[in-house]
Amino acid sequence: MKFRTRLLISFGVVVLIPLLVFGLGIRREMSRSVTGQYEERVQALVNVINADIAREGDRIGARLATMKNSLKDDNNFRNVVVRGADRSYVLDYAGNAMRMSGLDFLQIQDDEGRVVSSGHFRNEFDRLGPAVSGTTLVRAATAEGPFLTLVTSDTVYITPSHRFRLVGGIAVDSQFLARLARDPELGVALALPRDSTRSDSGKLVVGPPLTLPYIDATDGPGRVEQARIEITRSSALLTALQRNVNLWFAAAVLVAALAALLLAGWLSTRISEPVEARIAIGDIARQVTHDVKNGLAPLRNVFRHLTQVARDKPAELPEVFAERQGTVESSINYLETLAANYAKLSPQSERKATDVNAVVRETIGPSGSVRTKLAEGLPPVSADALVLRRVIENLLSNAVDSLDGKNGSVTVTTEQGKGIVRIAVSDTGRGMSKAELDKAFNDFYTTKPGGTGLGLSIVRRLVMDSNGSLNVETEPGKGSTFIVEIPVQ
């Protein structure tokens, strides 16, 4: 992995992790804030509902108090109660009083709790009514069917020994519940014991439980249970809210990450260029030391030996010199080759309009061993003809070497691309593995015994100096294609 890539990844990690942590923190705070606002609204609604129910109870109580005063002064009612006069007056009393007072439910119960008069259901006469104490929710029977009512009660003495209880209330229907729910995003619903008809799909119950005493008096006096008033909100609303939060969060992280990566890329390039240059110079220095020592060490040893012989046994000098002449020549040849290769590392190029096909033909010469497929009418490229020739020479030399002396073919192809001319040098030789390809362009990497490993490295530099690009397609055992692209003039 290149130093620049490692630097980029490091920058990315260093920048992205705090960014992600920061982003997640913001998201959590946003969710907490939204939830907090919701809880405040729900609590406010709970307080309003409690106050509304208390107010409704007070209103009903006030009407019952008025009714109580009328009843105490009603001689007809007293006559019936005390003397057993016409009972139809009593039976109709509650109906008339209920209509007059604007109530929806009214029972007059005797001391034992039996209904002596019912305003909403005349036929309740003589049944046991609900024992109401304080504001209570009652499920009451009527001729049309049961209904829910919010009731309170009051006590009236017609005579000191004749005590009656007035139980009055207003209907609790959908309009009543709608009046309780003042917040358009929140709903109010009643949850009664043993009520299997409720359907709350898509609704979430929020807030603390609100309870009311409840009596089911549809079939007898019933017993006191607890009904719940539930505050609900739509789950779709919450989901949409969360989706919006997540969407904005993702967009913010994406934009920040892109900005961070761009910055990291810019910084890593700025930092890595000089560092990579120093690494490359260090590598080259080490390699130069190695190569020069390889050439000089044998020379030094031979010279030392010859000096020793000249001093101690001068007569043997010609014979020893002849024996060691080969080593000296071999070292000199090695150093000459080395010098020539290093000279190629700093080419002086002169770019001008160059005919690629002409350079290819000139490089290959009359040799029949290299095939060509040269496109006609290619535009001239901007390159130094000598540089281009050196590139093609190197690639051809590698291609021929890769055949390992076996049968195979080497082909040079030229064609026009978008703004470039493409030169491809293909062979059917040994090809390269992934590991070999990764190292192929490094200085001093070679698979040839005695090779300097500078060929492809030089090719790459020459192509890049010409503002071109160099790519390789290769497969072990099947061959390689080196593709050079040079911009047109």
Partner 1 sequence: MTLVLIVDDVPAMAEQYAYDLKRLRGYETLIAKSGRTALESLTRDSVDCVILDLEMPGMDGFEVLRSVERLGLRVPIIVYTGTGDYDRCAQAIRLGAYSFIDKAEPMERVT
Contact residues for partner 1 (CB under 8 A)? 286-287, 289-302, 304-305, 323-324, 326-328, 330-331, 334, 445-451, 453
Q: Which two tokens stand for residue 377?
A: 């009418």
Nearer to partner 1, 210 or 302 (CB): 302
Is residue 383 a contact partner of residue 481, using CB atoms and an 8 Å limit?
Answer: no
Per the rule left: phi > 0, alpha: psi between -120 and 50, beta: everything else, 450 is left
Nearer to partner 1, 6 or 448 (CB): 448
Q: How far is the CB of 281 from partner 1 (least distance, A)?
A: 15
Q: Give the whole-angstrom CA distance, residue 365 versus residue 388.
A: 15
Nearer to partner 1, 216 or 291 (CB): 291
Q: How far is the CB of 340 from partner 1 (least distance, A)?
A: 16
Nearer to partner 1, 117 or 331 (CB): 331
Q: How far is the CB of 425 from partner 1 (least distance, A)?
A: 22
Angle between the N-to-C axes of helices 317-343 and 235-312, in degrees from 0 to 180, rounded to the nearest 10:
150
Q: How far is the CB of 322 from partner 1 (least distance, A)?
A: 12
Q: Side chain identity at 344, as an amino acid letter? A: K
Nearer to partner 1, 162 or 305 (CB): 305
Is residue 221 a contact partner of residue 113, using CB atoms and an 8 Å limit?
Answer: yes
Query: 464-467 — which CB contacts under 8 Å span 24+ positions?
Result: 465/347, 465/349, 465/387, 466/349, 466/351, 466/381, 466/382, 466/383, 466/384, 466/387, 466/388, 467/382
Nearer to partner 1, 243 or 293 (CB): 293
Q: How far is the CB of 474 from partner 1 (least distance, A)?
A: 17
Q: How far is the CB of 256 from partner 1 (least distance, A)?
A: 43
Q: How far is the CB of 279 from partner 1 (least distance, A)?
A: 14
Nearer to partner 1, 279 or 292 (CB): 292
Q: How far is the CB of 342 from partner 1 (least distance, A)?
A: 16
Q: How far is the CB of 447 from partner 1 (least distance, A)?
A: 5
Nearest to 412 by CA among 390, 431, 392: 392
Beta bridge pairs of residue 162 = 159
The widest CA-to-CA distance across the chain, in whole angstroms, is 170
Nearer to partner 1, 218 or 446 (CB): 446
Nearest to 98 by CA among 64, 65, 69, 124: 64
Nearer to partner 1, 398 or 426 (CB): 398
